[in-house]
């Protein structure tokens, strides 16, 4: 794609990066066919190509974001399906991340939208605040139907409906500690315990620690670790995202220097995509660029890590059929497609792959709160495809997808690592009914 940025504009490294990406796009439109919002809404401006044109126009003309571009960029899930499809290697993720930051800096959203985004940014990344908010949601739940009738308040209704009725107690695994290997030691990893996941489903990290330590891997939960920053990053709050990244880079660098790390293990693929991008996000910060690149290189999804070590024979063959849902951040963001399925098969599960596996379930961080109507359509489509597999349960590697999918089906939805822990000697996942 031809671009006409001035030399002065290109002096800004963010604009220069955007230009490099834009020039790779050859307008072929292959990406439109696999874009969930284009498939759902049928509007070219809600396709990757359409958004690329809008972003190019905004940046080239050096103008602030307007309502049109905000509407179409907000509708983008950042699912990155377009990046998997694109034959020209257009790095849509970095382009849309930059566009979101530009929107945040130059566009004043309506009051309620601003207020809801501020609450999300101030609550979700902090486990104590998030736990309190979930408990308070019980008081607001009776008003969800009322809120749903007012367009601007739909996100509030979505939040209330999605909040679980029972909030699990905080897990000891979320606290800084070193969990020693219970078999001959063969590795040492840091575990990102995360923010929302550690509140919504602490059993995921508990299963991870049990499984890894049983396999001879020492697991460290470092002091000072926090939210990966993905939630605010996707809202265009660049400074907050970079601050979160620096905090984690510091925590993990201390741990690398103290005892060495073979990997930084992540159990939520949405976080994994962002941490693997820390090197890029902090490239312009001389104090952090090198350390961030080292952290990104060490970041591994738990299934990626497990697939690379020798595993003994599983101690149990559950023989259940599992519909494996590959989160977008897993398959498109990190290109991890084979490992989770291979591990589940090795563990004795009959793995079934739902049709249209490339399409997002509508979760996408805070998307199902901020764009509840599109998210609901995508969830129905996803759930129909999952249920059509006839599998007994659903496994996936991202808490956002777990929450989204379980809101639309009676099937049990568990994290992949909970099934792996079970097969390799751990307890049966709590989320599985005894009838299975
Ligand atoms: S990231 Fe997903 S929703 Fe956004 S343009 Fe690409 S395919 Fe479409
Ligand atoms: S597939 Fe790639 S090159 Fe083709 S229009 Fe989409 S982003 Fe551009």
- Whether 36 is in the pocket of ligand 1, judged by its Cβ within 6 Å, is yes
Distance, first Cα to last Cα, the chain: 54
- Whether 49 is in the pocket of ligand 2, judged by its Cβ within 6 Å, is yes
* The predicted structure's pLDDT at residue 432: 86
Minimum CA distance residue for ligand 1 atom 4: 76
pTM above 0.85, yes or no: yes
Q: Ligand 2 centre and the CA of 86: distance in Å?
A: 5
Q: Ligand 1 centre and the CA of 326: distance in Å?
A: 16
In degrees, rounded to 5, the angle at the alpha carbon of residue 25 between the alpha carbons of residues 22 and 28 is 150
Tens digits of residue pLDDT in 45-77: 999 999 999 999 999 999 999 999 999 999 999
What's the rounded mean pLDDT across residues 142-150? 89
Q: Ligand 2 centre and the CA of 280: distance in Å?
A: 22
- Whether 93 is in the pocket of ligand 2, judged by its Cβ within 6 Å, is no
- Whether 95 is in the pocket of ligand 2, judged by its Cβ within 6 Å, is no
What's the rounded mean pLDDT across residues 87-93? 98
pLDDT above 90 as % of the chain:
90
- Whether 33 is in the pocket of ligand 2, judged by its Cβ within 6 Å, is no
In this prediction, residue 40 has a pLDDT band, given cuts at 50, 70 and 90, of: very high
* The predicted structure's pLDDT at residue 388: 98
Query: Could you give the CA distance from residue 130 to residue 195 in angstroms, rounded to a whole number?
Result: 8
Query: Could you give the CA distance from residue 237 to residue 365 in angstroms, rounded to a whole number?
Result: 14
Q: Ligand 1 centre and the CA of 104: distance in Å?
A: 19
Query: Could you give the CA distance from residue 20 to residue 225 in angstroms, rounded to a whole number?
Result: 34
* The predicted structure's pLDDT at residue 256: 96
Beta bridge partners of 187: 217
Burial (CB count within 10 angstroms: exposed 0-12, middle 13-18, buried 19+), residue 281: buried
């Amino acid at each position: 794609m031809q671009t006409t940025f001035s030399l002065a504009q290109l002096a800004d490294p963010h604009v220069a990066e955007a230009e490099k990406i834009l020039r790779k796009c050859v307008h072929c439109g292959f990406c439109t066919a696999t874009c969930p919002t284009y498939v759902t809404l049928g509007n070219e401006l809600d396709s990757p190509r359409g958004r690329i044109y809008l972003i190019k126009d905004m940046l080239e003309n050096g103008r602030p974001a307007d309502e049109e571009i905000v509407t179409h960029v907000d509708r983008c899930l950042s699912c990155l399906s377009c990046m998997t499809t694109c034959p020209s290697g257009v790095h849509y993720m970095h382009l849309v991340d930059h566009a979101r930051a530009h929107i945040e800096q130059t566009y004043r959203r309506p009051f309620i939208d601003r207020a809801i985004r501020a609450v999300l940014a101030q609550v979700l990344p902090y486990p104590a605040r998030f736990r309190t908010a979930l408990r308070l949601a019980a008081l607001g739940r009776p008003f969800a139907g009322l809120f749903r009738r007012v367009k601007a308040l739909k996100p509030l209704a979505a939040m209330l409906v999605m909040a679980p009725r029972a909030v699990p107690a905080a897990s000891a695994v979320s606290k800084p500690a070193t969990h020693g290997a219970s078999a001959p030691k063969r590795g040492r990893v840091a575990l990102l315990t995360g923010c929302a996941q550690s509140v919504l489903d602490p059993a995921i990290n508990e299963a991870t620690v049990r499984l890894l330590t049983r396999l001879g891997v020492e697991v460290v939960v470092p002091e000072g670790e926090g939210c990966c920053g993905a939630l605010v990053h996707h809202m265009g709050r660049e400074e907050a995202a970079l601050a979160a990244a620096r905090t984690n880079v510091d925590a993990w660098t201390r741990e690398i220097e103290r005892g060495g790390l073979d990997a930084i293990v992540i159990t939520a693929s949405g976080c994994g995509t962002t941490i693997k991008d820390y090197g890029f996000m902090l490239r312009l910060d001389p104090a952090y660029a090198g350390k961030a690149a080292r952290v990104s290189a060490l970041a591994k999804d738990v299934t990626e890590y497990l697939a690379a070590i020798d595993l003994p024979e599983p101690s149990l063959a559950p023989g259940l059929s599992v519909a494996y849902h590959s989160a977008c951040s897993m398959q498109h963001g990190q290109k991890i497609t084979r490992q989770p399925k291979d591990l589940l098969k090795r563990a004795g599960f009959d793995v079934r792959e739902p049709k249209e596996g490339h399409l997002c379930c509508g979760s996408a961080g805070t998307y199902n709160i901020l764009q509840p109507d599109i998210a609901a359509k995508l969830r129905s489509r996803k759930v129909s495809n999952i249920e059509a597999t006839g599998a007994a349960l659903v496994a996936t590697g991202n808490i956002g997808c777990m929450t989204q999918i379980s809101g639309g089906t009676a099937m049990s939805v568990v994290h992949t690592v909970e099934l792996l822990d079970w097969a390799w000697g751990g307890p049966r996942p709590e989320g599985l009914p005894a009838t299975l």
